[in-house]
Structure 1
Amino acid sequence: MTRNIHLHPCIYILLLIGVHTSATAQITLRTNTAHTVKNPQPVMGSVLYDFNYVKDTSRRDYIYTETFELDYAKTSSYFTSYTAKQNDTLMKNQMAMAFKNAPDPDHVEITLTGSAATSTDKFYTERHPQSRVYAIKMLVGASFIIPDAGTPTNWKIIDSTKTIQGYVCQKATGSSYGRHYTAWFCTDLPYRFGPRRLNGLPGLILEAYDDRMEVVYRLNRVENLTTGRTPIGLPADAEMTTNAAFARAEEAFKRNPQGFIDARSSRATTGRATGITGSFDVSKIKSINVKKTSTEPKGIKANNPIDLVTDSL
């Protein structure tokens, strides 16, 4: 699909923060800005998961796929889309080259290519000593932290083992947000974390799936790190909120994007933005031509949320 878009500079800011609106023609671009974090924890390793997901229960022949990354420290972890990070890097390079090679630096025409929209899920888990999971969401350039209000997974460890890519793993079962999961964890990696909200076992979860095989995380690889990865933590500039309050904010934005931005003008990013392009003057963008590839069949409906039960707060 190719769309040629001419927008006011403020709309480009919405594009950069990954907001879906009719004005942005359903384009998703995320910021890759490094936030200052509270109580930064040095990353000790990373797990990449291949994610398979039945998004539409009426089309079980179509399996959505994506790669996720779990960075873990001694007492915390950060879960996000690895595929999205790759797309962001690609688009950042494309935009940087467009600015560098533009015949007229005051009227830059940009062409971006990339895959279809990816997950915006980000979860930070910390243990002190009990685990606490926080969803991290973005809206109009601002970060929001939503603490989980649900009951932690009550795992049952089972006397069964299997080897995954050389790692001896033990089986456990438990329910999380309406789904019953089987998880395989490795005590040789003694960190009590896993994909998304799954955590609390005496070892890293290297594989997990629900009993319907609709949500499946399989190990891609484990990376042991000593240097080179940004420390993890909750964004220092984020606002603490609830699922209900964030949903109301999203609805307010959808009804009146410009009014919502004006109401938050003291906090919103203006003029120049840092994100997938680093620092640039958005007023110099003449047009953005977006070419996105997707293997998703037409008519797929997202009727099968990962969390079948959600927090009421």
Structure 2
Amino acid sequence: MSADGTGTDDTDYLARRFEAHRGHLRAVAHRMLGSTAEAEDAVQEAWFRMSRSDTSRVDNLGGWLTTVVGRVCLDMLRSRKSRAEEPLDPTAPPAAPVHGSTGAVPRPADPEQDALLADSVGVALLVVLDTLTPAERLAFVLHDLFGVPYEEVAAVVDRTPAAARQLASRARRRVQGAEVPEHDRALKRRQWKVVDAFLAAAREGDFEGLLDVLDPDVIARSEAGVTTGAAAVARGASTFGSAALGARPAPVARHALVDGAPGSVVLVGGRVERALRFAFVRDRIAVIDIVTDPARVARLDIEPLQ
């Protein structure tokens, strides 16, 4: 029995559940704060809050923890703004997810892994994000980079969903209006090639081809639930791709910016039947958001591309 009355087995179980989300939480915190050290602090604070809370009735622990980290980061950003401080290391890439540990304790970043993950958030983007207000930055990062619904973003920033949408929209205009360096253009070109490869493999039911473009810890989110791991996501994508080919009228997939991120829309009879939105790590797909509900599709900011 621990000092706070929690059994050792319970603590170990909580730690294992937390570790399953650590990589995602560190990525969210780094994009919010632009500092590996501060991101580690935010993730550790999320662990403290989880360990002191009853999460037995939380259906979506990943979403709950994302909200907690978002609130912690928002407080840190507001504190930084009030002191007119700069982030500690705005050029540092996010640390790699750590797997296989048994305790939720901070670890030093692995420089080699940090270098491998540098493409997941560019220095140019961090510089632009630093020009946003804390609420704008949080709304943009949570919604546009991680697909958190506006309703959940609103709860973090203590605004209405409509106001949260406006925050993200203002931030998106600032980000998209910034000059894009050539290395970021090259990154985008590589990402679109990955999207093409994913769609082709899904259309052909090519399981191995899907594995080639998916991050091992990829997360696929849809109204039906969350699927994690490259093998499971590849099975689902190949099954859907094969089934979609038989749809009547025939579906048409097009590149599109979905809420400002690389994505694809599936048109059936000229109507958007579903939208896919991608996030990347190391030139592989790390997150796929799949939206099929007509009401949710209608709320997306979709910009079809040639």
TM-score under structure 1 length normalisation: 0.22
Larger radius of gyration: 1
Q: Which has the higher strand share?
A: 1
Q: Which has the higher helix share?
A: 2
